[in-house]
Structure 1
Amino acid sequence: MVGAGKRLIRIVLVVMFLAGSCVDPYRPPEISAPNKFLVVDGFLNGLGTSTIRLSRTQNLTESKKPPIETRAIVQVEDEKGNGQTFVDKGDGSYTLDNGNLQIGQNYRLTIRTAAGRSYRSDFVTIKRTPKIDEVSWKALEDGVQFYVSTHDETNSTRYYRWEFEETWEYYSAYYSQFKYQKTQFLYREDNINHCWRTEKSSSVAVATSNKLTEDVISRFPLTFVSGSASNRLKVRYSILVKQYALTAEAFDYWQNLKRNTEMLGSLFDPQPYQVTGNIHSVTDPTEPVVGYLSSHSMDEKRVFIDASELPPWRIPNGYEACDADTYLLMPPPTEVSAIAMGEAGFIPIDAVLNSIGNVHGYRMASSACVDCRVVGTNVKPSFW
């Protein structure tokens, strides 16, 4: 997210209308300005480990990952001034294990960066999150729709937010029996054909029961998983849903963020505006800070779907474009050798024998087609 002060950045795209005329791209100064505002992501956990992630904003033209903020001092303090310091993990994340933060009590976060700049959140009250009643799903025409249901018998929650993690099992296009190492083709000990991949949700999912007589959320549509756009449902799929109780102020923040990031695109959609959080710069009160500090406990629930439970969809495996070719150890002068392909990063799949049973080449393909670890891990998750 790129901000500029506390005003809304409106980018006007100018299109030249004369055919054949010179077009000079318009680049507003906000796009190229060195905006490096602090981003604070995380929450205070009333019944477990609290994790705060610090990074910096970057311009829209930058393709690298946002820079992380390391060597900061992150603390939480109560209204009496008693403080606890988070542990710096060195990767932009800061954790507080067993902080004994009390449900119903008020706390705030303080941050001092390595550059000496100070930031502080408003005081926030830790809320108790109700249990998730159910994570359900329904197979639709071309995919699976997931729902989440919950309730609070005390009618004191009213505002909810959810995040989720998707994990799915998959196989690469080819099973590799060999590996190439220093001009040699050796038998492979590990399996790089069978993997798992995990992705975290990037959308904002919030709901409220504030206008209902009872604090009940029934079958809230959490996410849709397509049966044709990816290989998620090809073998076995799992979704871990995390539920958080929000205050009315936190709900407004996330709802406005959702409108700004997901509901734009036509003249009839809500217009973008500055989303203001509850974290402020002490060093420079005019400096924007991105993020909102919430405080609550967390509940989570995981469900699995096997491919056998779904309709007979033609789910892609993700490797439809892959192809393997045979490369000889001693090829004719006009052909490329197996060793040259190994040096180029291609992975041997299996051996090719000549008429008398000796290996004279290997069937090979690119790593993207053979090594499933390119996009995942071959280490089986503990919950699988």
Structure 2
Amino acid sequence: MLKKYIYLLLILPLAACIDPYVVNVESGEQLLTVEGTITTTPGVQSIRLTRSDTYGSIFEGLIRPVSNATVVIRDDQGKVIFLTEDTEDRGVYYTPENFAAVVGRSYTLQIQLVDGKVYTSLPELVNSVPEIKNIDVKVVKIAVEGEVLERSGVQLIAEIEDPSDQNNFYYWRTDQSTYILKTRPDLYTPNPNLRNPPSREPEPKDCCIVCFKTELLGSQGIYLEKDDIFNGLNTKVAAGFIEDDGKRFVETLRTDLRQMSISQEAYRFLRLVKQQTEVSGSVFDPPPANIRGNMISLDDPEEVVLGYFMAAGETVKRIYIQAEDLDFTQPAVIIPDDCREIEGAQLNPPVDWNP
């Protein structure tokens, strides 16, 4: 018993001497970030302006929209296009309807903030782009450490006839995707806490099993290529990836693949971004760094401005992917509810749905 008291007396003074260590971290400089691409495809096109912290976007609340700016696009013939800010999504500025860049023209983005500071991009030349001849699909499986079931998805492979009379720098993006969403309203069970008395018995709904869900899948990798090794040849290139989440490939999915011919400078910028986003996370990886784009401050040339304004020739090809044509799909996710209750889902297909 005496030994226990001795141990306790030895521990208490040590605990009493520990003071909390307060770390004071200086806030980073808020940097103007410009994101936007104009293409030869007619339509409303957008530029997004934000203030980004130097520590990166992983800190919530440090990315702020830049509102009430004057944003214009000017071509090399002196034509000026004024952009209008979205009244709800602040910091996003739109071109007029049916705006389209023109092959062979150069475009410059110019921004004036409410504090009077003026920024401009370097001129971006719009290059012609070949058509996408065909899109092949290939199932790709990704092993996940500690998981029995592999992740998987569908890789999009674009077939193109590269022109021999110019050096091409390609950039691919997937647009909005629409797929047939299947649910199980017959398994619907209301929240038992809302019942009196509480019960977990199903209350099947009469409708609906099949809906059409449209979503913007976002960037699932940066797909770039230059034609150094296939100049003037017919070739196939990996151009996109859509992850299988157990809902998208239950029956039919439709997506649009956008192929852009970008400038060499834009290709270099995106390649650096790609390298930085694909690091493995080991101690041997280079530290993340702010990548300078083509935006500069006319008031202070030393000011760091992030992002890139791109102008590109663009072609778009649509593809319908049938689950029966895939050699592997994820187990279907069971959604015990009316499919119309799922955000982004609607009962009728798009008017141009034509698988």
Structure 1-normalised TM-score?
0.67
Match 1:167 to one of 178, 184, 187: 178
C-alpha deviation, 1:231, in angstroms: 1.9
User: Which residue of the other structure, out of 158, 161, 168, is the alignment partner of 1:158?
Assistant: 168
Q: Which residue of 1 aligns with 2:5?
A: none
Is the contact made by 2:178 and 2:212 (CA closer than 8 Å) also made in structure 1? no
Distance of 1:125 and 1:245 partners within structure 2: 10
Q: Which residue of 1 aligns with 2:50?
A: 55
The correspondence for 1:45, drawn from 39, 45, 58, is: 39
Q: State the alpha-carbon separation in 2 of the partners of residues 137 and 167 from structure 1.
A: 17
Aligned-pair CA distance for 1:254: 0.3
**Matching residue of 2:144:** none
Q: Assess if the C-alpha contact under 8 Å between 1:46 and 1:296 holds in 2.
A: yes
Alignment of 1:120 with 2:117, yes or no, is no
Whole-angstrom distance in 1 between the partners of 2:235 and 2:22: 49
| Alpha-carbon separation, structure 2, partners of 1:267 and 1:245 | 36
Give, in whole Å, the separation in 1 of the partners of 2:24 and 2:252.
46
In structure 1, what is the equivalent of residue 200 of structure 2?
A: none
Matched, 1:208 2:226: yes
Determine if the alignment matches structure 1 residue 218 to structure 2 residue 235: yes
Structure 1: unaligned runs, 5 residues or longer: 1-20, 323-368
* CA 1:254–1:195: 2 relative to 1, 3 Å: same
Shift in alpha-carbon separation, 1:382–1:100, aligned structure 2, 3 A: closer
Q: Residues 312 and 264 of structure 1: is their aligned pair in 2 closer, same or farther, counting only changes over 3 Å?
A: closer
Partners of 2:127 and 2:262 within 8 A in 1: yes
List per-residue Cα deviations over 1:63-120 (Å, max 9, x = no partner): 3694333332211223454422123333313214455644212221101233433211
1:77 and 2:74 correspond: yes
CA distance in 2, matches of 1:124, 1:60: 27
Query: Is the contact made by 1:146 and 1:222 (CA closer than 8 Å) also made in structure 2?
Result: yes
Equivalence map 1:266-345=2 (5 Å):
266-267=282-283, 269=285, 271-311=287-327, 313=329, 315-317=331-333, 319=335
Q: Aligned-pair distance for 1:171?
A: 2.6
Shift of 1:163: 0.5
Q: Could you tell me which residue of structure 2 aligns to residue 197 of structure 1? A: 214
Aligned partner letter, 1:120: T
Task: Indicate yes or no: 2:350 matched with 1:381.
Answer: yes
AA partner of residue 350 (structure 2) = P
Cα pair distance change 1:200/1:290, threshold 3 Å? farther
What's 2:12 paired with? none
Structure 1 residue matching 2:185: 3-state secondary structure: coil
Question: Which moved further from structure 2: 252-261 or 76-85?
Answer: 76-85
TM-score by length of 2: 0.72
- Name the aligned partner's letter for residue 78 of structure 1: D
3-state secondary structure, aligned to 1:251: helix
RMSD (Å), alpha carbons: 3.6
Q: For residues 120-173 of structure 1, what are the alpha-carbon distances to aligned partners after superposition, in whole Å with 9 as ceiling and x for unaligned?
A: 101121112221122111346655332112233243142100010333221334
